[in-house]
């Protein structure tokens, strides 16, 4: 009977390679699917403009999707739905006629109003019946019309009278700024601003306080400034 013989072969692997492999394994994480998110474009919109609720990281194997007004899936607040197989849209109770849904699950809202401010929920319907949801939000602000300055005394007496200037506007939730001689207000103990900056009080006016004065109103989508007002200090 012949003898069977086998040779043992040793494979030499440099230690540097083993160290690199161990390091890669230590820091490697299994890939995870990206999270479904909604981006509002823009996030602050002017009244009468449009907003696109843009969908990111749409999952695979979806059969359709629904949009809702609010932060949760509520049939009574469903805006519109979309069925991928038929490319059919189905308006819901909250549909106003200003919404357009796209095959990528994004939602366009045109001619937005102040009442459109808030959250919107997207429900993605998957073939495996494991649905996904995401929410987005935006705010709608009015385009600001020109304010005007109301003065309690346009002809004050020097070193005697105080003058109260009020920035008048119908807009709400605005920021007020004041300008004198086309510059921001100087720091002076004789110049007092109300807590909301809407009212400017000038104590013991002098001829150097004649102005002109302007008030400016701002919100996240617009800015407007009043006509200048000059005091006749006598």
- Residue from 138, 193, 130 nearest 167 by CA: 193
pLDDT for residue 104 is more than 90 = yes
* 172 CB neighbour count, 10 Å cutoff: 9
Contact residues for 32 (Cβ-Cβ < 8 A; gap 6+): none
- Give the C-alpha separation, 134 to 56, whole Å: 10
CA angle 36, 42, 44 (to 5 degrees): 115
CATH 2.60.40.10 is the classification of domain 37-141: yes
> Dihedrals φ, ψ of 75, to 5°?
-55, -30
Q: pLDDT higher for 53 or 171?
A: 53
List, for residues 4-15, the tens digit of each pLDDT value: 333 333 334 444
Residue 158, pLDDT > 90, answer: no
- pTM of the predicted model over 0.95: no
What fold does the segment set 148-225 form as a domain? Immunoglobulin-like (2.60.40)
The sign one gets for the Cα dihedral 41, 43, 44, 46 is positive
Q: What local confidence, expressed as pLDDT, does residue 33 receive?
A: 60
Backbone angles phi, psi at 22, to 5 degrees: -65, -40
If you average pLDDT over residues 217-227, what whole number do you get?
96
Mean per-residue pLDDT for 206-231?
94
* Shared fold status for 37-141 and 148-225: yes
Range in 1-15, 76-90, 107-121 with the lowest mean pLDDT: 1-15
Spatial contact of 115 and 195, defined as CB atoms under 8 Å apart? no
pLDDT band for position 64 (cuts 50, 70, 90): very high
Q: Domain residues of the chain, as ranges? A: 37-141, 148-225
Lowest mean pLDDT among 19-23, 87-91, 119-123, 168-172: 19-23
3-state helix, strand, coil in the chain (%, to 5): 10, 40, 50
120-156 tens-digit pLDDT: 999 999 998 889 999 999 999 999 999 999 999 888 8
């Amino acid at each position: 009977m012949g003898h069977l013989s086998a040779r043992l072969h040793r494979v030499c692997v440099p230690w540097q390679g083993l160290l690199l492999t161990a390091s890669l394994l230590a820091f490697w994480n299994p890939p995870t699917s990206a999270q479904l998110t909604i981006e509002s474009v823009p996030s602050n919109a002017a009244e009468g403009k449009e907003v696109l609720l843009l969908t990111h990281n749409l999952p695979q194997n979806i059969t359709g999707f629904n949009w809702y007004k609010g932060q949760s899936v509520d049939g009574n607040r469903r805006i519109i739905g979309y069925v991928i197989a038929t490319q059919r849209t189905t308006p819901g109770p909250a549909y106003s006629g200003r919404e357009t849904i796209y095959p990528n699950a994004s939602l366009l809202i045109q001619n937005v109003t102040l009442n459109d401010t808030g959250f919107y929920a997207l429900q993605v319907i998957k073939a495996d019946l494991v649905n996904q949801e995401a929410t987005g939000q935006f705010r709608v602000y009015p385009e600001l019309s020109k304010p005007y300055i109301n003065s309690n005394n346009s002809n004050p007496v020097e070193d005697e009278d105080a003058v109260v200037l009020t920035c008048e506007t119908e807009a709400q939730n605005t920021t007020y700024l004041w300008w004198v001689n086309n510059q921001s207000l100087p720091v002076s103990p004789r110049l007092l601003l109300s807590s909301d900056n809407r009212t400017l009080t000038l104590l013991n006016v002098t001829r150097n306080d004649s102005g002109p004065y302007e008030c400016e109103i701002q919100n996240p989508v617009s800015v407007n400034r009043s006509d200048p007002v000059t005091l006749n200090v006598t």
